[in-house]
Amino acid sequence: MPTRVSKDCELADFELSKGGANHQKPKGKDDIMTTAQGAPVADDQNWLKAGARGPSLLEDHIAREKIFHFDHERIPERVVHARGYGVHGTFELTDPVPELTCAAPLTGAKGKKTPAFVRFSTVAGNKGSPDLARDVRGFAVKLYTEEGNWDIVGNNIPVFFIQDAIKFPDLIHSAKAAPDRGFPQAQTAHDNFWDFVSLSPESMNMIMWIMSDRTIPRSLRFMEGFGVHTFRLINAEGEVKFVKFHWKPRLGMQSVVWNEALKINGMDPDFHRRDMWDSIDAGDFPQWDLGLQVFDEEFAEKFEFDVLDATKIIPEEQVPIRIVGTLTLDANVENFFAETEQVAFCTSNVVPGIDFSEDPLLQGRNFSYLDTQLKRLGGPNFTHIPINAPKCPVRHFQQDGHMAMQNPKGRVNYEPNSWGSGEGAEADRGPRACPMNGFSSAPVAVSGEKVRVRSETFADHYSQARQFYISQNLVEQTHMANALTFELSKVQRMDIRKRMIGHLRHIDEGLAQEVCDGIGLPKLPDKVPAAREPITDLPESPALSILRNGPGTFKGRKLGIYVAEGADAKIVSQLKDAATEAGAMVEIIAPHIAGAKLSDGSMLEADEKIDGGPSVVYDAVAVVMSEASASRYSTDKPSTDFVNDAFAHAKFIGYVPEVEALFDNAGVWSRRDDGMIDLSGSQGAKGFIEKCADLRFWDREEVKQD
């Protein structure tokens, strides 16, 4: 076989070496590619060979290094919270509380700022699972304080499935893919999960929360966050209070409906990631207020439930939330792996002024999270990774280990030592502990026999589950019943279904009957014996409802305007202006990505082609077309789906009379209601956007009767 390089190849190689079309010439020395060792690279396109068509040579250290690094790019994904998304931000103190704590971010002058990094996540799915799975969302905040890193590692739900950390492996094993078949992925609608929770009555409060709309949020920007556990605050005088941490979204809470979630996952499995990235990239920075629920031992003694029980909340009506600061997320990461994947959160990362409670789930998490970082990040020096490194000085005698980036300088690497005084005074003695300013635990008296028991004060498993359910409005209760019915319909074993409904009877007989009827059982199963009879007269807590606490604004939401040839230019302009004035984002959808020619002859470029811009990804929609265009697209499936889905998902719909043919074929023209606004009428575009502040027209949904 010939080995001579052809003239064409010679020319291509010449162009490559000279910085031709296939290779941009470096602008300067700083642009020259190097190896990881810093050596300049002449050719990154070809492995070193013995002749142009000969075997590749192992001596090519450049190719060897490149492939070596590629082969080791992946690190173990998180066992839970594998699919996450990180954002940088700042916490600003608005109400200093030195009377409660000496924690650095919560004391000092009003307006004090602390750098932050937040990672949102789903829990059960792997890194490749979709964003809109019905799942708890992780809400982990790292504050880089002047006294070290403080991690508030929480969720978008304030309670959890289990009371003791020893059950955590069982919970996650039951929710994850079955070990024999490797599925299902990122869902709980299967036998293993419902078998476990139906045999774990302590999970019932959490079950009500995860079957609510909170587990299918519209956006990461529209979620609450919770520290989940009870912690302690300690002030400079050593006085101690209990506290629970809350993050309240400035944009309010919002969720999607289940059918919508399924379609979004099919259309854009990165929906939440894209939404957060685009919002920050556009300068629309999401914000949360940090709230403290502070109470003392006296309240804890009188409270109906144990404040150390992570399956319980303290209703806001009993202990109001005090807002002390605002978290603003204003910068996307520069590299997803280096920051979002390598960030290490530990519940044990606290600063002076914050301390733990005896919550057994928290105690176990404090032990577990450090182990996790060792496994994932390769060794004990994960704090040397920039995203994990404190922004304050770090001084200790810890040394060596895998990937150590810095070690103590000088001779001294132990303590106590006598360097720095007397003979050898020239040597630095190194850091010393500081009893006055260092971290101190709350002086809590501890006594008792070593026993493996669950406190009797943890035994009520149904009362707060009932309270959460009755605190929802009828729409939300209907969604919960539908979710339970759907999930249990995917369970194959009848005994598991019956056992679960037996638990629901302790929560609400009407709910149990709805699910029973939905599954098709001939009669209600018997109640599961309760460890403690539930309290049935707990009052409603309106703060627990999403729909009772709507934001009353369309700010931060997205309007999709579907236009086609001949669309009224004035109405389109009015829609865009009204939405922008309300603080919303606008996207134009058209039959072709090039856009559409409007009534005034101008060409409006589209953001999405109708096939790739379904109504499920918008909070409200408007359809503006000429009569001819509406007739033309009345049999186009993506077009009719756009209208039909928006109607089915209770969205506000703006329209012009000319779209009758399209709406009629979509099956909604004869069903027009107050959630559909004629943009050519008296309300116009401005009135339509004002109505959109309600986010959904829930009257369109069929709900159970009160």
DSSP state of 218: S
Q: Are 571 and 656 a contacting pair, CB within 8 Å? A: yes
- Find the mean pLDDT for residues 29-57: 91
Which residue, 266, 224, 238, is CA-closest to 100? 238
In this predicted structure, the answer to whether residue 23 has a pLDDT above a threshold of 60 is: no
Is 72 considered catalytic here? no
CA–CA gap between residue 109 and residue 604 (Å, rounded): 50
pLDDT-wise least confident of 32-36, 97-101, 314-318, 599-603: 32-36
| C-alpha radius of gyration, the chain, whole number | 30
Per-residue confidence band for 403, with pLDDT thresholds at 50, 70 and 90:
confident
Secondary-structure percent of the chain, ordered helix, strand, coil, rounded to 5: 35, 15, 50
- pLDDT tens digit string along 183-213? 999 999 999 999 999 999 999 999 999 999 9
In this predicted structure, the answer to whether residue 5 has a pLDDT above a threshold of 70 is: no
Share of the chain above pLDDT 70, in %: 95
pLDDT score, position 109:
96
CA–CA gap between residue 560 and residue 511 (Å, rounded): 36
In this predicted structure, the answer to whether residue 400 has a pLDDT above a threshold of 70 is: yes
394 token code pair = 């770090």
In this predicted structure, the answer to whether residue 21 has a pLDDT above a threshold of 70 is: no
Pick the catalytic residue from 155, 192, 265, 388: 155
What are the chain's domains?
7-71 (4.10.91.20), 84-158+219-384 (2.40.180.10), 554-700 (3.40.50.880)
- pLDDT tens digit string along 123-156? 999 999 999 999 999 999 999 999 999 999 999 9
Q: Read off the amino acid at residue 483.
A: A
- pLDDT tens digit string along 214-258? 999 999 999 999 999 999 999 999 999 999 999 999 999 999 999
Q: Give the 3-state secondary structure of 243-281.
A: EEEEEEECCCCCECCHHHHHHHHHHCCCHHHHHHHHHHH
In this predicted structure, the answer to whether residue 3 has a pLDDT above a threshold of 70 is: no
DSSP state of 116: E
Burial class (CB in 10 A: 0-12, 13-18, 19+), 81: buried
Per-residue confidence band for 50, with pLDDT thresholds at 50, 70 and 90:
very high
Per-residue confidence band for 602, with pLDDT thresholds at 50, 70 and 90:
very high
Is residue 2 classed as helix, strand or coil in its secondary structure?
coil
User: Cα 106–107–110 angle (5° rounding)?
Assistant: 95
CA–CA gap between residue 639 and residue 345 (Å, rounded): 45
Q: Residue 85 contacts by C-beta under 8 Å, 6 or more apart in sequence?
A: 119, 120, 121, 220, 272, 273, 276, 340
CA–CA gap between residue 589 and residue 598 (Å, rounded): 13
Strands 113-122 and 137-145, how do they pair? antiparallel
Half-sphere exposure of 6 (CA within 13 A, CB side): 3
Burial class (CB in 10 A: 0-12, 13-18, 19+), 191: middle
243 token code pair = 């506290």
- pLDDT tens digit string along 345-390? 999 999 999 999 999 999 999 999 988 898 899 999 999 999 999 9
pLDDT score, position 27:
62
In this predicted structure, the answer to whether residue 273 has a pLDDT above a threshold of 50 is: yes
- pLDDT tens digit string along 381-397? 999 999 999 999 998 88
DSSP state of 207: H
Strands 354-356 and 653-655, how do they pair? unpaired
What are residue 549's phi and psi, to 5 degrees? -130, 40
585 token code pair = 């984002």
CA–CA gap between residue 244 and residue 100 (Å, rounded): 13
pLDDT score, position 125:
95
CA–CA gap between residue 698 and residue 454 (Å, rounded): 43
Burial class (CB in 10 A: 0-12, 13-18, 19+), 690: middle
pLDDT score, position 12:
39
Distances (CA, A) of 322 to 223, 229, 247, 544: 18, 17, 11, 17
Q: Read off the amino acid at residue 523.
A: K
pLDDT score, position 436:
86
CA–CA gap between residue 595 and residue 597 (Å, rounded): 7
In this predicted structure, the answer to whether residue 14 has a pLDDT above a threshold of 80 is: no
pLDDT score, position 17:
42
- pLDDT tens digit string along 308-335? 999 999 999 999 999 999 999 999 999 9
Is 413 considered catalytic here? no
CA–CA gap between residue 697 and residue 706 (Å, rounded): 19
pLDDT score, position 29:
72
Distances (CA, A) of 6 to 2, 22, 47: 10, 18, 18
- Find the mean pLDDT for residues 602-625: 98
Kindly report whether the peptide bond that precedes residue 416 is cis, defined as omega within 30 degrees of 0: yes
Q: Give the 3-state secondary structure of 131-144.
A: CCCCCCEEEEEEEE
Q: Residue 529 contacts by C-beta under 8 Å, 6 or more apart in sequence?
A: none
Q: Read off the amino acid at residue 411.
A: R
What are residue 590's phi and psi, to 5 degrees? -145, 165
In this predicted structure, the answer to whether residue 2 has a pLDDT above a threshold of 70 is: no
- pLDDT tens digit string along 95-121? 999 999 999 999 999 999 999 999 999
In this predicted structure, the answer to whether residue 15 has a pLDDT above a threshold of 90 is: no
pLDDT score, position 437:
86
pLDDT score, position 423:
67
pLDDT score, position 18:
41
pLDDT-wise least confident of 55-59, 581-585, 660-664: 55-59
Q: Are 549 and 658 a contacting pair, CB within 8 Å? A: no
Distances (CA, A) of 118 to 220, 241, 249, 271, 347: 11, 26, 14, 18, 14
Mean pLDDT over the full length of the chain: 93
Pick the catalytic residue from 81, 190, 479, 506: 81
pLDDT score, position 377:
93
- pLDDT tens digit string along 523-544? 999 999 999 999 999 999 999 9
